[in-house]
Amino acid sequence: DGGITQSPKYLFRKEGQNVTLSCEQNLNHDAMYWYRQDPGQGLRLIYYSQIVNDFQKGDIAEGYSVSREKKESFPLTVTSAQKNPTAFYLCASSIGRASGETQYFGPGTRLLVL
Partner 1 sequence: QKEVEQNSGPLSVPEGAIASLNCTYSDRVSQSFFWYRQYSGKSPELIMSIYSNGDKEDGRFTAQLNKASQYVSLLIRDSQPSDSATYLCAVRGGGNNRLAFGKGNQVVVIP
- Select 79 or 103, whichever has its Cβ closest to partner 1: 103
Cα separation, 78 vs 59, whole angstroms: 15
Q: Show contacts with partner 1 in window 30-89 (CB under 8 A).
A: 31, 40-45, 48, 50, 58
CB of 15 to partner 1, least distance (A): 26
Q: Near partner 1 by CB under 8 A, which window of 14-22, 66-74, 75-83, 104-112? A: 104-112
Residue type present at position 67:
S
The residues binding partner 1 (CB under 8 A) are: 31, 40-45, 48, 50, 58, 90, 94, 97-108
